[in-house]
Amino acid sequence: MTAQPPKPYSYYVVSNPSPASEGGLTVLFAGISQTKPGHKPGPKVVDYYLLHHVLSGKGTYSCLGNTYELGPGDSFLIEPDQLVNYMADVEDPWHYRWIAFQGERAEPLLRSVGLSSESPVVRTGRRQRISALFHQVLQAFQGRGAAANLKAGGCLLLLLAEYAQALEPLQKTGTPAEASGTKEIVQRAIQYLSTQYADPLSIGMMAESLGYNRAYLSTLFKRHTGITPVAFLARLRLDRARHLLRERSELTVEQIASSVGIQDPLYFSKQFKRMYGTSPTEYRRAFLRRHP
């Protein structure tokens, strides 16, 4: 059998020409490399998030004591300050793309997708969309246009959506991802309630939107948080109302009730007093006396 000639080594990286934070998420740089046989950049830590996607070849990735065998179509996540090690195969070294990013939205977005140091690998098979999105980030930075930062951020969000779609079947079956998957379901429910509490929503609407049975979702929610989704929503609304009573003195109690998703001012006042032991009006007066 004739030995295959070694693949030519290549390495290319380009940085974001204007890395201003966009909504708490910024892509820092992107790159592509045909690695050398046995290429081993580690063990090491980085201070940003790093996503690799394998185009061809093979290699291993080690994190938190676990080692993953990776090949074409696989992606892996490196989190900030996490000691990791990854190495290209000696005979068939991998050819991969990567994206580095940071920002306060990064962790919750990754958790909502199902990616973390505990579950850092996504196996996407032949999905060409994944590689294309990595390439589009690199192209945006190469162009150095005024919209490069926005284009890269949009591609990253689309990429995470692709990963979420790929990981979803694992989170709904009895695989090792099930335990972490249930936690992610609850996080998605909390995110849903936290962003839409001002709307006339119901737990049934939320369950339908997230794609789960209401009773099942409520059981998971209480198991992980200690309270029901209904109680969580009520607390969320009243806590937001308390903030508005303190900070927006020009708003009436009725306007504040409506602003937090409660259309009946009388019901709002009763719930507020039950929660805090005082009416909304009395709460505001007491606060203004302490902070004239």
Helices of type H across the chain: 106-113, 128-143, 148-171, 178-196, 203-210, 214-225, 229-247, 253-259, 265-276, 280-290
Examine the domain organization and report whether 154 and 196 are in the same domain.
no
Nearest to 35 by CA among 80, 70, 2, 78: 70
CB 31 within 8 A of CB 11: yes
Examine the domain organization and report whether 14 and 120 are in the same domain.
yes
Profile the chain (292 residues) by mean pLDDT over runs of 10 residues.
64 87 81 94 89 95 91 94 92 95 90 88 85 94 88 93 80 44 83 88 85 86 89 92 92 93 93 93 91 74
Domain membership flag for residue 3? no
- Number of CB atoms found within 10 A of residue 116's CB: 17
| Four-residue CA torsion sign, 218, 190, 106, 140 | positive
Examine the domain organization and report whether 143 and 234 are in the same domain.
no
Examine the domain organization and report whether 29 and 152 are in the same domain.
yes
Examine the domain organization and report whether 149 and 285 are in the same domain.
no
CB 106 within 8 A of CB 160: no
Examine the domain organization and report whether 106 and 248 are in the same domain.
no
What domain count does the chain have?
A: 2
Amino acid letter, 60: T
Examine the domain organization and report whether 154 and 240 are in the same domain.
no
Single pTM value for the model: 0.60
> The domain containing residue 122 runs over which residues?
10-171
**What CATH number should be reported for the domain holding residue 277?**
1.10.10.60
Write down the pLDDT at residue 209.
Answer: 84
Q: Which of 171, 204, 239 is the last residue of a domain?
A: 171
- Number of CB atoms found within 10 A of residue 257's CB: 24
Write down the pLDDT at residue 154.
Answer: 93
Write down the pLDDT at residue 1.
Answer: 42
d(CA 235, CA 271) in angstroms, rounded, equals 10
d(CA 53, CA 28) in angstroms, rounded, equals 16
Write down the pLDDT at residue 156.
Answer: 94
Amino acid letter, 94: W
Examine the domain organization and report whether 260 and 146 are in the same domain.
no
Examine the domain organization and report whether 248 and 215 are in the same domain.
yes
Domain membership flag for residue 49? yes
Strands 66-70 and 26-34: unpaired
**What CATH number should be reported for the domain holding residue 41?**
2.60.120.280
Write down the pLDDT at residue 172.
Answer: 45
Domain membership flag for residue 238? yes
Write down the pLDDT at residue 99.
Answer: 97
d(CA 189, CA 185) in angstroms, rounded, equals 6
Write down the pLDDT at residue 181.
Answer: 65
Helix axes 178-196, 148-171, angle to 10 degrees: 130
Exposed/middle/buried for 81, CB within 10 Å: 0-12, 13-18, 19+? exposed
Amino acid letter, 123: R
